[in-house]
Structure 1
Amino acid sequence: MRGTGWKRLAGMAAAFGLAAAAQAVPFWGAKESRSADTMPSALAPGEWIWGGDDKAMGPMVMLVSLTEQRAYVYRNGVLEAVSTVSTGKPGHETPTGVFTILQKDKDHHSSKYNNAPMPYQERLTWDGVALHAGGLPGFPESHGCVHLPSEFARRLFGATTMGMTVVIAKDGVSHSDMVHPLLLSPVAASGADAAPVPLAADEPFRWTPDAAPQGPVSLVLSRSDQRLVVLRNGVEIGRTRVQLRRPGLVLGTHAYVMGSGYMQGTFAQFPQGRAPQWMAIAIPGHEDDAGRVLDRDAIDNVVIPAAFAANVYPLLVPGTVLVATDAGLVPQTTGARVQVVNADPPHTL
């Protein structure tokens, strides 16, 4: 009896172990971010880039390209993250269109597919389409959901809010700006079209502050385009040509946050001769930048039209983010695309 009892207990324990293993949630994709200078097309299945996030920096929007099998995340109109995805396979295609996050469930299990785990689920439709961590073979394999790498899905889950806009696009159905997005968001937080418009040949700069009367401000400097773009609350409100005294420099992508002080010395191109102090933010591939102050040579290298500078200067406050990149801002230009901008700013400046 005793031997039989122990065998029975051992069998029960083994069965329990198998059941527990069956309930274990898999981990999909890479555990760490690639460098911010990585082009989206260079990401292998399961790879992703995440530059950090700060909800105070403005509204977030996500764009999923079924054609590219990639997802792009924008904060305040500027790309901060990108990931490979796997979407609906033939017969279970992921629908295109503009969606909002209807429900969030960190530990969701499917009611349709044998209680399958769907970690960090963010529901887009009530009939079963959602963002969640899942398999990433490098091609569409889901039953309609958008599969994300586990660690990327975890970070996204913490950054999103209920009602946030998610746009799903593909060739032949959606505008090319949405299928092959770049550094600036082609859609507003509302889901409306917001494709960046290049300056006309006779247009030195554009200034439309009424497009977004209030909200956090971000600046994007493209060295390849020699353009400076100003965004407020996720909407472009200004764009200007700039002159680079050393246009041949290739420096990669760097992000900065404005401090409360000013640079020493006089800067002729800034109102009252004062230049804000900018402190580098750590982003993937440039972690050693953290806390480094932008030097005078870098500031002097960029010549901004005085009239445009006079418009922008009053909007700059501590915490404003500046991104300087070699990337192009519109499809007609060539610079390499980049991913990350709004990493967590330093606690002290």
Structure 2
Amino acid sequence: MLRLLLATFALAMPLSAGEIGEAFGQGRPASSPVELARVAETLSPGEWVWAPEIAPSGPILIYVNLSDQLATVYRNGVRIGVSTISSGKPGHETPTGVFSILQKDAFHRSTKYHNAPMFYMERLTWDGVALHAGGLPGYPESHGCVHLPLEFARLLFGVTNFSATVVVAGDAAHRVGAISAGIAAPFVPAGYPADVPHLEGAWRWTPELSPDGPITVILSKSDQEAVVLRNGIEIGRGRIQLDDHDDAVHVLTLTQNPDGGRRWIYAGLPGHESEKGATLADAEIGRLRAPRPFYDRVEASLKRGDSVVVTPAPIGDGAVGHRLTIIDAMGEPKASHP
């Protein structure tokens, strides 16, 4: 219990400059006005993006792509964060597979490697493989663990529990063999690949695949499709028409008026803080076109707290042609292009 209280306290307590240096100089702590619809491979060592507002609730899945040296975090099946990593060097390769988080320790130190600090450690195996803050030189250099930027490791530590699934795949040496990480998770919460059939008609609806849990709807302007996820599992997909010149990501949450009516409000994502709390106008809702049976089924399933993500990105692909601004440690914005 004492260790749990200390770990909880650590989430709110920044580390000192000395501790940061001791934690292998974590590259560049980075945040972003999160247009997560981008080519994530352009992130430089130590950079990351984080937007938990995109999916406020639901199961967490972490996908570590050894081929690309990237970790992607999904909540309720929707991408909420991406970070550069450093995995195991030759002779100490990070094992691939599907793992659960076995132990969490915000102030962990290695019993194997000279008391080395491993802040925000999340253990994957009992023989020493874990996610934790560590060095990020731009190539695999760990003894088997997955190194993360210090601040990203802290944020990830704060949203995970022992039910989170971690999928590690790919080949760091040959840069092959991993599934691309897109807006929607390529894996279901249990860790096996999401086998989503091609949409043959105008829509499909299979709520029995996940009867209960939070819903997130992704509206892709690129694909002109809507995907409905419940507890991280796809339960519906349909053709839509949503045309405008807005290439930003927007997140809306369903709330209730005092009179019991429904109301969609904007979440204030980083870079879009002015939207926070604004109500979606009826005229905006009217611009969405979808098959009526599909629309009615989705609307009937939504409840307070469910969310909609409007994105210019394709649903199943990590690459889209949109700019993202990344902030480095000096606070100097730099444009990142696909």
Verify the 8 A CA contact 2:67 2:172 in the aligned structure 1: no
Q: Counterparts of 1:174-185 in structure 2 under 5 Å?
A: 179-185=179-185
Paired with 1:140 and 1:132, the residues of 2 have a C-alpha distance of 14
Query: Displacement of 1:26 after TM fit?
Result: 5.0
**Bigger radius of gyration:** 1
What does residue 252 of structure 1 align with? 248
RMSD of aligned C-alpha atoms? 2.9
Q: Does 2:262 correspond to 1:286?
A: no
Aligned to 1:214: 212
Q: CA deviation at 1:192?
A: 2.1
Q: CA deviation at 1:57?
A: 1.5
Change (3 A) 1:303 1:171: farther
* Deviation by residue 1:87-121 (Cα, 9 ceiling, x = unmatched): 01111111111111111111111111111000000
5 Å-filtered alignment, 1:1-349, equals 24-25=22-23, 27-38=25-36, 39=38, 40-52=40-52, 57-170=57-170, 179-200=179-200, 203-244=201-242, 247=243, 249-261=245-257, 276-331=262-317
Q: Distance in 1 between the 2:199 and 2:321 partners?
A: 17
Structure 1 residues 114 and 262: alpha-carbon distance in aligned structure 2, compared to 1, 3 A threshold: same
Q: 1:23 to 1:110 in 2, by over 3 A?
A: farther
Q: Counterpart amino acid of 2:77? A: G
Name the SS for the 2:107 alignment partner: strand
1:254 aligned partner, one-letter code: H
Structure 1 position 206, deviation (Å):
0.9
Q: Which 10-residue stretch deviates more, 326-335 or 281-290? A: 326-335
Which secondary structure does the structure 1 equivalent of 2:52 belong to?
A: coil
- Give the C-alpha shift of residue 261 in structure 1: 3.2
- The secondary structure found in structure 2 opposite 1:109 is coil
Query: Does the aligned pair in 2 maintain the 1:34–1:47 contact within 8 Å?
Result: no
What SS does the aligned partner of 1:307 have?
A: helix
Report if aligned partners of 1:256, 1:279 keep a CA contact under 8 Å in 2: yes
Distance 1:77 1:107, change over 3 A: same
- CA gap 1:282/1:252 in 2 versus in 1, 3 angstroms: same
Question: Is the Cα–Cα contact under 8 Å of residues 54 and 78 in structure 2 kept in the other structure?
Answer: no
Tell me if the contact between 2:29 and 2:48 (Cα under 8 Å) persists in the aligned partners.
no
What amino acid maps onto 2:248 in structure 1?
A: G
1:21 shift after superposition = 8.2
Residue 289 (structure 1) shift: 1.8
Q: Structure 1 stretches of 5 or more lacking a match?
A: 1-19, 264-273, 339-349
How far apart in 2 are the matches of 1:84 and 1:331?
A: 18
Note if contact 2:58-2:231 (Cα within 8 Å) is conserved in structure 1: yes
Could you tell me which residue of structure 1 aligns to residue 12 of structure 2? Answer: none
Partners of 1:60 and 1:22 in 2: CA distance: 27
Q: Would you identify which runs of 4 or more consecutive aligned residues in structure 1 move more than 4 Å? A: 20-27, 53-56, 332-338
The Cα shift of 1:30 comes to 3.2
Alpha carbons 1:328, 1:336 under 8 Å: kept: no
Q: Which amino acid aligns with 2:234?
A: E
**Normalising by the residue count of structure 2, what TM-score does the alignment of the two structures yield?**
0.82
Does the Cα contact within 8 Å between 2:55 and 2:78 map onto a contact in 1?
no
> More displaced, 287-296 or 98-107?
287-296
Q: How many residues align?
A: 303
Superposed displacement of residue 188, structure 1: 1.2
Identity of aligned residues (%): 46
Superposed CA offset, 1:30-75 (max 9, x none): 3341221152122111111111369971111100000111100011
Gap runs ≥5 in structure 2: 1-17, 325-338
